[in-house]
Structure 1
């Protein structure tokens, strides 16, 4: 009895060990069955390509077999010079419909031994010119006369407006201007001075006179001289102009301290100041915060 019990317990252990393996096999086999449609799709596409190829070969063989009869029809005077006859000529090797008439008639003048033939322009060129003229007329009427469509400038402005709506209006949104007021407390300006000396002086000079970066002590600004514009420039930087973004290196309060310190330097006229750059604005200290 005990031996039977041991045998049953051993069989149960084997089943428990095999069961996860069977489950994993079933799970891994499911994607294989799910991926069955793609081979069927490729088979249908291959059959379609094969049918088209066979149809093309039959058509080419039929045209080659009927070419003498088509040539006789093409040579008829009532067919040869018609537009449909020129289309038929493409099937028998005459490309007048594409290349035009080649008369090889010399004009009665030459220059430096160079003679000019009196041949027609290729029909494909004439058709293309006519289509271009029609397109230009439709474009002019639609965009400039009726003004139903947007020109490039208006289309660009509309796309930029749509893109701005898709950007989140959080504190990290460069399109959302802050509403800070410039700090005036001596302790805040002192902190801003220390931060400026450590991070900004290498490019703008110890006294903000301008080195690689612009002079920050005059009335001219490249990206706005109000405290919130200066804050935005420091936080997000200026792509392609060498001004890096400091939002990951300075806190919001530190950026405001630096911005306020920069505005406190207005009109200090340091030595060796860099020439003005940008647009002239009223002294930033008199501007109200937005």
Structure 2
């Protein structure tokens, strides 16, 4: 009785093992699928194979062409020496195959002229044809360029292209007080309290670079009419808020509030024409004071 039971158990274990093996085999392709997806698909493989075959074919054709030219060089030379062929355009191209570079270097080379000065002889060399053709191309290109960009005005010049790119870039940045492409429309503060606060902020944060009297040290002089990034109140406000990292100007956004930035801006502009001692030479473009305008700053 025990033998049949053992045989039955052995059969069940064998069947279970086969079943688990089948399940594992069935899951293997699924597990391998992501790895296959990470590689190239059939179309990509076919593309690279065809590209490789095309490269090999072009190389073979090039080698065959060179071999044919080398084998037929005597016959090509005889054809090139014919008067009806030698002076033609196709004959000059043929000359390149037989070793005559006239098409590239010109007809005359190191031709000695019949006069000299104090033993100094002069040679007459042709300009290389490729240079003359290139010069003619630049003339044609200049007429096309002027006609397209300046006469018909269908093409954008550098300034217009820059403005277009800036407008496209502005679409990617949310408009608002933190948009560096948008200028504010604030008025300069003129009250004694605001200017006093601006003076304190300037002495603490700005004087090390611009000088105690804004005469300029590492940074530019702020008391003259010359400005690197605009001298109108909103341009100065923008410069202080967002900084000019490429020139070492720190961005004070997040360190000073909007009201504090406008206060120090107004104080700096109040120093215009103060003529401090040891003032740094002018930098940037001369800019006249802007007309009054803007909005109140109660929201800052």
State the TM-score, normalizing by the size of structure 1.
0.71
Q: Is the 8 A contact 1:214 1:274 kept in 2?
A: no
Q: Is the 8 A contact 2:215 2:280 kept in 1?
A: no
SS for the counterpart of 1:245 is coil
Tell me the equivalent position of 2:298: none
SS for the counterpart of 1:116 is strand
User: CA offsets, 1:195-224, max 9 Å, x none?
Assistant: 3333223234456565544565x5746332
Give the counterpart of 1:281 among 256, 273, 289.
289
Separation in 1 of the partners of 2:68 and 2:211? 85
Tell me the equivalent position of 2:85: 79
Tell me the equivalent position of 1:57: 63
State the TM-score, normalizing by the size of structure 2.
0.69
SS for the counterpart of 1:107 is strand
| Structure 2 unaligned blocks of 5 or more | 296-300
User: CA offsets, 1:27-80, max 9 Å, x none?
Assistant: 543335655554443322221111111111222222223223322322223222
Separation in 1 of the partners of 2:186 and 2:218? 28
Tell me the equivalent position of 1:224: 231
Separation in 2 of the partners of 1:137 and 1:267? 49
Give the counterpart of 1:175 among 178, 181, 185.
181
Separation in 2 of the partners of 1:199 and 1:157? 34
Separation in 2 of the partners of 1:74 and 1:113? 39
SS for the counterpart of 2:206 is helix
Separation in 2 of the partners of 1:244 and 1:147? 41
Tell me the equivalent position of 2:37: 31
| Structure 1 unaligned blocks of 5 or more | none
- Aligned Cα RMSD in Å? 4.3
